């Protein structure tokens, strides 16, 4: 499991990232992108701003940049997720960084624009997965059209002008901190290092971190390192000692403690169990379980899924 949710790398289609995922649980987290979650199968319980929302099959919800949220599915839910770096769109739609979308589930039954929104949402994801010639242009084009439809579907408010500056400062600070941790998690990293980068006191930054990331700095860093260790345990044959060094733990004992706090198994026991049963069933009480589909499998799934929307495509392109 890589750290898709906190910090998305937009290497292939700058500012746009999509993935198809099976998920049971994702602990409280945030990311600096505008996130769109579409439920393909199952039901998702989203906890955000101390409110629980149910997102059913064929419904979609938007999560604002830097908004702390938790995802729970009683049974495995299949989700299609699109994440947009709003900074890539503000040249031609500057209002995007001044908007705050209401936490409201979007569905076909409640809004006549939903069909068009879903179509362009699916087309964005499909273009991202298929990586055809000039696919980055396709991704940005379809994403822009999806944003235009969202403005018709979703409730939103403009952040008051007197609060915009503080809002942007907060977003940029979270972005910089996330990027710094992502780039340096494998090194010796202290809260004081980030405080110096941000020119803040350690006490202020500690409070800011807890308030905006939902965890203390050390717990968050241990979580990131544990997630990287989880990925290496699943995808490499590296020894646990090597994984400990690669993920920034100064000693295997610290890796064991942090990994067990996150996944309720030691790295050794987890690897042993994976060899016996590669599909490890977990949930909120026993860590996280999520499977991100490779791009090729995601593209095939989208091709199959898109057969339902052929009529809409003909109608939309003939106007």
pTM for this prediction? 0.76
**Separation of alpha carbons 182 and 225, rounded Å:** 10
Instruction: Report yes or no on 195 lying in a domain.
Output: no
Taking a C-beta distance cutoff of 8 angstroms, is the pair 143, 85 a contact?
no
What is the pLDDT at residue 312?
Answer: 52
- Clarify whether residues 263 and 134 are in a common domain: no
Query: Where in the sequence is the domain holding 309, given as residue range(s)?
Result: 16-159+291-317
- Give the closest residue to 184 by CA, choosing from 224, 135, 227: 224
CA–CA gap between residue 149 and residue 197 (Å, rounded): 39
59 and 133 co-located in one domain:
yes
pLDDT at 14 (0 to 100)? 86
Q: State the sign of the Cα–Cα–Cα–Cα dihedral 75, 76, 80, 85.
A: positive
Q: Count up the domains in the chain and report the number.
A: 2
- Whether 22 and 143 map to the same domain: the answer is yes
Q: Provide the pLDDT for residue 277.
A: 55
147 close to 93: Cβ distance less than 8 angstroms: yes
Q: Do 300 and 233 fall into the same domain?
A: no
pLDDT value of residue 283: 37
Q: In this structure, are 56 and 123 located in the same domain?
A: yes
Same domain, 32 and 155: yes
Q: What is the pLDDT of residues 150-192, one digit of tens each?
A: 999 999 988 777 777 787 788 889 889 988 998 999 999 999 9
CATH number (domain holding residue 43): 2.60.120.10
Give me the pLDDT at residue 10, please: 45
Q: Are residues 123 and 239 in the same domain?
A: no
Consecutive 10-residue averages of pLDDT for the chain (319 residues): 42 85 86 93 90 94 90 92 91 87 90 92 95 93 96 88 79 88 93 94 94 88 91 89 94 94 88 66 48 89 76 45
Q: What is the pLDDT of residue 181?
A: 92
């Amino acid at each position: 499991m890589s750290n898709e949710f906190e910090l998305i790398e937009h290497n292939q289609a700058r500012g746009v990232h999509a993935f198809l995922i099976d998920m049971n649980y994702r602990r409280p987290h945030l990311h600096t992108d505008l996130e769109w979650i579409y439920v393909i199968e199952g039901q998702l319980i989203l906890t955000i701003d101390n409110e629980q929302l149910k997102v059913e099959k064929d419904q979609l919800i938007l999560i604002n940049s830097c908004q702390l949220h938790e995802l729970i599915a009683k049974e495995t839910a299949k989700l299609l997720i699109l994440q947009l770096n709003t900074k890539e769109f503000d040249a031609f739609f500057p209002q995007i960084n001044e908007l705050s979308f209401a936490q409201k589930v979007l569905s076909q039954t409640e809004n006549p624009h939903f069909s068009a929104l879903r179509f362009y949402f699916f087309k964005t994801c499909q273009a991202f997965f298929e990586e055809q010639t000039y696919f980055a242009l396709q991704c940005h084009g379809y994403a822009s059209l999806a944003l235009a439809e969202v403005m018709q579907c979703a409730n939103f408010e403009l952040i008051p002008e007197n609060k915009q500056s503080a809002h942007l400062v907060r977003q940029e600070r979270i972005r910089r901190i996330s990027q710094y941790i992502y780039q340096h998690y494998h090194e010796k990293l202290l809260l004081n290092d980030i405080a110096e980068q941000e020119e803040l006191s350690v006490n202020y930054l500690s409070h800011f971190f807890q308030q905006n990331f939902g965890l203390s700095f050390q717990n968050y860093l241990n979580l990131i390192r544990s997630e990287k260790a989880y990925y290496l345990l699943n995808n490499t044959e590296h020894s646990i000692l090597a994984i400990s060094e690669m993920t920034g733990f100064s000693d295997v004992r610290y890796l064991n403690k942090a990994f067990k706090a996150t996944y309720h198994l030691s790295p050794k026991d987890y690897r042993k169990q994976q060899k016996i049963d590669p599909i490890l069933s977990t949930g909120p009480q026993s860590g996280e379980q999520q499977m991100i589909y490779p791009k090729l499998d995601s593209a095939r799934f989208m091709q199959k899924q898109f057969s339902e929307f052929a009529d809409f495509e003909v109608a939309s392109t003939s106007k």
